[in-house]
Every structure is written in C-alpha cells, then in structure tokens.
C-alpha cells in the first residue's frame, strides 16, 4: 500500500496526509528523504488523505469525513 501512496504523490506532485501512526510506520521503513517529503501528518497540507479501512466501514462515518473536507 505504501508504494501505491508514494506513486500517487509523485504522479500528482501532491503531498499525502497520513495519520501519526501511519507516519511512524513509514519512518520505520527508512524511506529516502526524497520519498518521505511526500507524506505529511498535517491534514491541512493535502487534499489526499490516507485513512484506515475501519474509518470507512459505515456510510455515516464516510459522510462525516466528506463533510469535513468539502
């Protein structure tokens, strides 16, 4: 999955928002700096958000997330 996120960021030339836990996981992968620069834990820096699947488990939660960023 992480390779997919990174490829999306590179192609779109946009940062990808990830939560703090995901960012820590990415740091454990010891990615080169040129790859790490595409990820941010500041949700205001990106319109592309990577969220855990459980957050999307219900339509009610999806609607809430959608309304936050529209």
Q: What is the pLDDT of residues 49-58, one digit of tens each?
A: 888 877 766 7
For residue 70, the model assigns a pLDDT of: 66
Mean pLDDT of 43-62: 80
Q: Where are the domains of the chain?
A: 2-68
Alpha helical stretches, state H, the chain: 2-12, 20-28, 33-36, 59-68
- Point out which residues pair with 50 in neighbouring strands: 18
Threshold 0.75, pTM exceeds: no
d(CA 17, CA 12): 14
- Point out which residues pair with 49 in neighbouring strands: 17
Report the topology of domain 2-68. Rossmann fold (3.40.50)
Going by C-alpha positions, the residue among 61, 63, 40, 42 that lies closest to residue 52 is 61
């Amino acid at each position: 999955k992480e390779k997919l996120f990174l490829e999306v960021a590179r192609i779109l030339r946009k940062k990808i928002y990830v939560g703090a836990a995901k960012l820590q996981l990415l740091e454990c992968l010891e990615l080169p700096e040129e790859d790490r620069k595409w990820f941010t834990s500041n949700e205001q820096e990106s319109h592309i958000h990577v969220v855990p699947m459980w957050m999307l488990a219900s339509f009610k939660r999806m609607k809430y997330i959608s309304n936050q960023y529209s």
